[in-house]
């Protein structure tokens, strides 16, 4: 199975664990609401004001931290009001800044995300995890004459190559016999499909993709597939993109692929939930429910953390060793450290999972986590 959640930027941000505060600001770029500069500017204003009020009310921050955070906030404000930010093509922007750590990172999110600003000891990455959970696709669409190779997350596919070949049909048949002519037409079609497949194979090796898909007439697609490299075939979605290449525009291609992607996601969720069900309780490699899942996270045994979209509750965490608990009170059983209350256990669980190299899967299509109170995990051992 390929990686469930390409969450590398989130992981990277979480590595900034120096104890210095980080501002995490998410700017919504929903085209229906924030397509214009004035609408964006109003949202920036409101988020910066919120952050300034949080700083005024904050206790527990030292003087140096406060001074740096106010400067960080001005820096974010200036940046978002400049011409620099990559608004184009993004559903939202995440901006992460910690002047004391030399951290200033901007990440494009593919989908709109509610505007929000959070100041904490680590970057607030949860919206990033959910948004980046989208997998990267490599798609080849063919017919006898034309081939297109596209790649990227499903809602931001970009054309990588366009094979529009001058194959027989327009050729002057000269004095060829019909049989010889037909053989030559077939050879041209085969050469064309091999060229498209070579393009796909090369692209697969030079970039990171999670899944591949093909589309085209039923008599052509298997011929294309036969030229695909083994590693592409191994990640090929079972369905086909249903689109007529001779007439489809980009939107139609995207819609056809989106349908296939939903089917593919459902299947992956189904498979993962089946593994969860088979492993829970029997002493196998899975746990379900908040208590057992936290224990597995604390033991760093989690391979994939599974969450319902709405899962959240309060919890607690040791400030020195990071041990997660359901209830606060007393001292950490492991090292006697101070226990902090958590408003959002969801966030802490995702953070812990990413910190131990686990994937995070938000289960959207099936209610399988319901009986487990919305949380579970597949284990490494
Ligand atoms: Zn502890």
In this predicted structure, the answer to whether residue 6 has a pLDDT above a threshold of 60 is: no
- Poorest-confidence range of 68-77, 181-190, 295-304, 341-350? 181-190
Write out pLDDT tens, residues 212-234.
999 999 999 999 999 999 999 99
Given the candidates 1.20.1440.230, 3.40.50.620, 3.30.420.60, 1.10.3720.10, the CATH classification of the domain at 136-265 is 3.30.420.60
Name 150's bridge partners.
139, 159
In this predicted structure, the answer to whether residue 145 has a pLDDT above a threshold of 90 is: no
Q: Give 352 Cα–ligand 1 centroid separation in angstroms.
A: 14
Q: Give 122 Cα–ligand 1 centroid separation in angstroms.
A: 18
Give span(s): CATH 3.30.960.10, the chain: 1-134
Write out pLDDT tens, residues 254-282.
889 889 988 988 999 999 999 999 999 77
What is the dotted CATH code of the domain comprising 1-134? 3.30.960.10
Give span(s): CATH 3.30.1330.30, the chain: 280-381
Q: Give 333 Cα–ligand 1 centroid separation in angstroms.
A: 7
Give span(s): CATH 3.30.420.60, the chain: 136-265
Q: Give 338 Cα–ligand 1 centroid separation in angstroms.
A: 7
This prediction has a pTM of 0.73
- Poorest-confidence range of 101-105, 226-230, 324-328? 101-105
Q: Give 334 Cα–ligand 1 centroid separation in angstroms.
A: 5
Q: Topology of 280-381 in CATH? A: 60s Ribosomal Protein L30; Chain: A; (3.30.1330)
Q: Give 335 Cα–ligand 1 centroid separation in angstroms.
A: 5
């Amino acid at each position: 199975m390929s990686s469930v959640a390409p969450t590398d930027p989130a992981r990277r941000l979480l590595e900034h664990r120096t104890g210095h505060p980080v501002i995490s600001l998410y700017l919504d770029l929903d085209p229906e609401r924030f397509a214009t500069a004035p609408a964006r500017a109003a949202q920036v204003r409101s988020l910066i004001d919120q952050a300034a009020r949080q700083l005024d009310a904050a206790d527990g921050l030292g003087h140096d931290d406060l001074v740096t955070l106010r400067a960080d906030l001005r820096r974010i404000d200036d940046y978002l009001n400049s011409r620099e930010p990559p608004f184009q093509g993004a559903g939202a922007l995440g901006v992460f800044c910690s002047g004391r750590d030399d951290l200033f990172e901007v990440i494009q999110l593919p989908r709109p995300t509610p505007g929000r600003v959070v100041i904490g000891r680590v970057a607030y990455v949860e919206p990033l995890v959910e948004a980046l959970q989208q997998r990267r696709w490599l798609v080849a669409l063919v017919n006898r004459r034309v081939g297109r190779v596209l790649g990227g997350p499903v809602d931001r596919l970009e054309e990588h190559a366009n094979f529009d070949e001058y194959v027989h049909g327009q050729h002057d048949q000269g004095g060829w016999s019909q049989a010889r002519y037909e053989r030559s037409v077939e050879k041209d079609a085969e050469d064309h499909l091999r060229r498209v497949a070579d393009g796909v194979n090369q692209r697969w090796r030079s970039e990171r993709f999670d899944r591949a898909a093909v589309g085209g007439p039923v008599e052509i697609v298997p011929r294309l597939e036969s030229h695909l490299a083994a590693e592409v075939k191994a990640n090929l979605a079972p369905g086909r993109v249903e689109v007529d290449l001779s007439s489809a525009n980009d939107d139609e291609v995207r819609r056809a692929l989106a349908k296939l992607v939903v089917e593919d996601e459902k299947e992956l969720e189904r498979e993962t939930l089946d593994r969860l069900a088979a492993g829970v309780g029997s002493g196998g490699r899975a746990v379900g429910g908040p208590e057992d899942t936290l224990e597995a996270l604390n033991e760093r045994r989690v391979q994939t953390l599974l969450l319902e979209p709405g899962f959240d509750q309060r919890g607690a965490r040791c400030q020195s060793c990071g041990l997660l608990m359901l209830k606060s009170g007393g001292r950490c059983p492991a090292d006697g450290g101070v226990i902090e209350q958590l408003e959002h256990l969801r966030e802490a669980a995702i953070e812990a999972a990413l910190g131990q190299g686990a994937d995070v899967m938000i289960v959207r299509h099936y209610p399988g986590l319901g009986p487990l109170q919305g949380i579970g995990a597949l284990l490494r051992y």
